[in-house]
Structure 1
Amino acid sequence: EPQSLLFTGDSVTLRCEVDQSWDGLEFIWSKNSNTESAEAATKTIDSLKVSDGGEYRCRARRGEYYTHYSEPVTVTILYKRPKVKVSIKPDQHVFRGETVTLRCDINGEAVTSWQYSWYKDGSVSVFSELQEHIFSPVTESVAGKYSCYGEERGGSRTSNISDAVTLTVSDFLKPTLTVKPQSSLFTGDSVTLRCEVDQSWDEWEFIWSKDSNTESTEAANKTIDSVKVSDGGEYRCRARRSGLYTNYSEPVTVTIYGKPKPKVSIKPDQHVFRGETVTLRCDIDGEAVTSWQYSWYKDGSVSVFSELQEHTVWFVRMSDAGKYSCYGEERGGSRTSNISDAVTLTVSGVSPPVSLIVSPSRTQHFTSVSLSLSCVNQSNSDRWRVRRYSDILGLIDCSSRWGSQTGSTCTTSSTITSDTAVYWCQSESGEISQPVNITVQLGVILESPVHPVTEGDTLTLRCLYQHSTPPNLRADFYKDGSLIQSQNTEMIISTVSKSHEGFYYCKQPERGESPKSWISVRSETSILKLLHNHCVFD
């Protein structure tokens, strides 16, 4: 078993069987009628050789009694041609000038000596009969496909022919040197230089040179953390294997600049009055950076409130006072600036002695009606002009694109929705009044006071419809998004307190909803302070 025709290296089992009712039997084996040997009923031969082939017979013995011989069985052992493998060292891909060794390995049992034959590119011509064939130095002409074959010295056995293995020979290489994130950096940044050659080649050493100075052997990646100005210069690299060197890469110049420090400026001044317009500007003198993304911080907070180089606060409030600083990041790059020194903006609570009077006296108005705005103070009113700002039309004066100004009064005969804007009075010297938000729309509006309401006063709000307001019309009043009254079209708060401050609007179920208006409440204490600042007492 398994069969009588086998190959070298296989295994075979011969079994001698008699009537199984007989006990105490010995088994006698004979091969090619040679001397008998007593063995077990089963005879196994592992890893067959050609010499194991022949005619096998068996018989059984018990005491002095022998059975007849069995019919002979012929076992034939055929020679199995061994596998052949070609290897190339140091690599199948080498470059001109290296030393290359081709080796032929044959796993042939019972063969003590082989004669080797080497072939190139399918040719029948043998160019070498050595197990190892050496090319030194390699030239481009030896590149090709190599295979080998073996014949037994002093015998007749042969191997199969090996699979072909390709040897590739390249001319001298020139590595590519790359820099990430970029070759122009600020002190404190990090940079990585990478020396790249054909990635199918192994066992490279990399040689680095800066400004043509002494070379140093390092990895393919050279990383410099927290660069200094002295790290700048011209870098080159090359690779080495088995004592042979590639060409140098093209040089790469790394330039290190000092990390810039932004400067914050505030116009018109670091000390302003409430209601004025203030512009914060961040200037960064960063060499080699063409575009910055700016980040503004206030009072040491990590939250960014603006990303513009210039940030404008149109109507300064007391809460805008504080310390401002800025920081820059390169757009499309990795370079960053230091953070600027903080600059303090101071806001005083006393505004210029002028008020904007709106007629009709409310912050919301219908379209197609007359609207008058006047600048009133105790001195010369003629030096004040009405101005406004909106997202649609920007900053414009009265009579520029709307209304007509007579003295300090601006009048428009027929309002339109684009008249929705912030309005204020401004003097020739740049002083401005407290601004007023005015909304113009069709449909429903909320009648609310233009100026802050004093604590303890009565506040009356009305929900008006543009065409008519029937006596039995119902309206819902909301404060900060919550419903506070659902009765008629008028809501009265008899004694105003600071808690009544907020955004108010009204809704008429069948006609629509008004815009929101901010109701500001001031205390009697703040009124006394204002009087003290503007009056002289005997």
Structure 2
Amino acid sequence: MSTVSIRPTVTLDPNWSLIYTGETITVRCWIQNHERTQWTYEWRPTNLNTYPTQSEYRIYRAAESHSGDYSCRGRGDYLLTEWSRVIKLTVSPELNADIKVIPVGEMITVRCEIQGGNTSWEYEWKTTSSIKPSNQNEFRISSASSSHSGNYRCKGRRKNAQYKTTEWSDFIKLTVNNNKPQSFLSVSPSWLSPGASVTLKCEVEHPSAGWRFYWYKTVPKLSDRLYRYELLPGSDSGTEEDSYMVHGQTHTAGYVCRAGRGEPVFYTEHSKPTFVWSGASLTVSPDRVQHFTSDSVSLSCEGNSTEWRVRRFPEDSYLSLCSDWGTMTGSTCNISGLNSSAVYWCESGSGQFTNSVNITGHNMILMSPVHPVTEGQSVSLGCRLKTGQKLSNNVFYYQNDKLLQNDTRVELIISAVSKSHEGFYKCQHSGKESPQSWMTVKRHEIFPWSLIVGLVCGVLSLVLLVLLLLLCRFRRSKREIFVFLI
């Protein structure tokens, strides 16, 4: 990847280097005259590089910890830009209660009150905003915009004695945040059995009355790196309820929501995609979490779809597709080497998502299963060196950093796993240590056949007993005839 003489620009929206705690601000990275390149973005500080890595980073409810120097650079088409110049952001605590921050499009009323006042007063306003209030005691804003931002104060004047006035009130600072309010989506349950129902719940930042809620399914656009949103049935005009139930969920899917109100409709931002996992799966070959850096690994997507793509999100880089670091053949991604740890998953053009799998590359590895194991199964954990050296002794295994054994066994064999065996495992040999891998243990769900068989046998035994008693009685007195309906 070659570095080009392109310097991105970092901007703030709203363009204030000083903001107060609780406000929302967006940090954007802009690369001039290179719209044709599919850029992904890398940020400083590094904790901004969250999934997905895009051209903007939005800070909701800013805290003093968000203060600092921000810069970015772009990656794309085997190109790497220079780092942008640093922009400094300072988040200050609110000094008093007279600072009002509201989102754009919000309804608000600024009121001037005179203690002991009556209808004999008229009102005068002073403001630094571009919109001037009338001489009424209330200034009602039906849909706030940036032009309403400013300092407001008022005083009263007697209608029948214009020279008699009150003192000016203290200033109230009104700040209209130009960013749309954010929506937040939660799902319950997030893991479910095929055919079950899932409940979606949408919340709006700075909640208030009058919102209607819109519900969408996320569908990967296989032609690029983005998603499109499809409205779910019954939400074309929004719903009054802030929850929505999806019945008969048969495969993994992603959902988003947003809210709107007013005429024309003012919408919040779309929520971040939230996923419900079921059905489709990602399989790894060889079937283990850890691999040597030189290993060839195959990732196969399995589910009710014919078109798939594989994505990964490394610990130290950015979101990317299989075509960037491997070869996609049908529904399988083949990788010739693993340079770092990353999370992998599959997406289909019909809107399915598989489970995610964490895979690491290292020179010393722990042989452990990728997928959850069921209670009662036998599991074998082993330790391997990239050199191929056979380990015969002095291998130590740890669960959650606690030493499990210190004898000469090469493998850690658990004959029947239970929930107590769930946790992080690693191995150690001659001062070298493998990465940790998490082993998940599923509970063994047993259908109660034994109970059903027992009940059936009990009922049959009772019926046979009754018939035997009747037969004996019939033999003693052949003149008596009994009819039973069973």
Task: Classify the TM-score, shorter chain.
Answer: 0.3 to 0.5
Q: TM-score, normalised by structure 1?
A: 0.39
Q: TM-score, normalised by structure 2?
A: 0.42
- Higher-RCO chain (CA-CA 8 Å, sequence separation at least 6): 2
